[in-house]
């Protein structure tokens, strides 16, 4: 779907204010009546050369006050070696399991396991590559998270 320049500027504003991809997707549908899939929104943000900001400070501020279950689509995050992993209760299209990971450098990415059992990481930008140590730690922590949830 092609957006007008005004609509693209609105997306830029939402990204600058810290909205997540799913927040932007909802606003596109509700406010601009532009229906887009999650991946289309991700491609749009990439095409506009924008970068989704991490909500790290907000998460730390809310660490003592857990959000209600209905508002939290992620299972509790585990942390090992500066890498934290969470498993989403709502799976991405085409994924058997999905969630997010924050690497030791503070950069967050999405991850998914497809029906063939292949693990994939979707970096926030095409040029981002986590360290080998972070990738190994991520895989270990993901395995612990899944075992703890009986998966």
Please report which helix (H) or strand (E) contains residue 149, including its range.
Answer: none
pTM: 0.47
Q: CA 45, CA 52: separation in Å to the nearest integer?
A: 8
Task: Give CA–CA dist 148/138, Å, rounded.
Answer: 15
Six-digit token string for 48:
């506009």
Q: Quote helix, strand, coil % in the chain, to nearest 5.
A: 40, 15, 45
Q: 69 with 89: CB under 8 angstroms? A: no
pLDDT digits (tens, 9 = 90+) for 95-134: 888 999 999 888 999 999 888 889 899 888 888 898 899 9
Does residue 63 surpass a pLDDT of 70? Answer: no
């Amino acid at each position: 779907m092609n957006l007008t320049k005004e609509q693209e500027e609105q997306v830029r504003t939402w990204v600058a204010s810290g909205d997540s991809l799913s927040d932007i997707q909802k606003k596109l549908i509700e406010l601009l009546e532009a229906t887009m899939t999650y991946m289309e929104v991700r491609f749009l943000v990439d095409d506009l050369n924008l970068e989704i900001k991490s909500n790290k400070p907000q998460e730390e501020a809310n660490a003592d006050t857990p959000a209600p279950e209905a508002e939290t689509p992620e299972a509790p995050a585990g942390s090992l070696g500066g890498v934290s992993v969470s498993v989403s209760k709502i799976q991405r299209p085409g994924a058997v399991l999905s969630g997010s990971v924050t690497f030791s450098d503070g950069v967050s990415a999405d991850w998914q396991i497809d029906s063939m059992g292949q693990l994939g990481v979707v970096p926030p930008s095409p040029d981002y590559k986590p360290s080998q140590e972070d990738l190994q730690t991520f895989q270990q922590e993901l395995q612990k998270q899944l075992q703890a949830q009986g998966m």
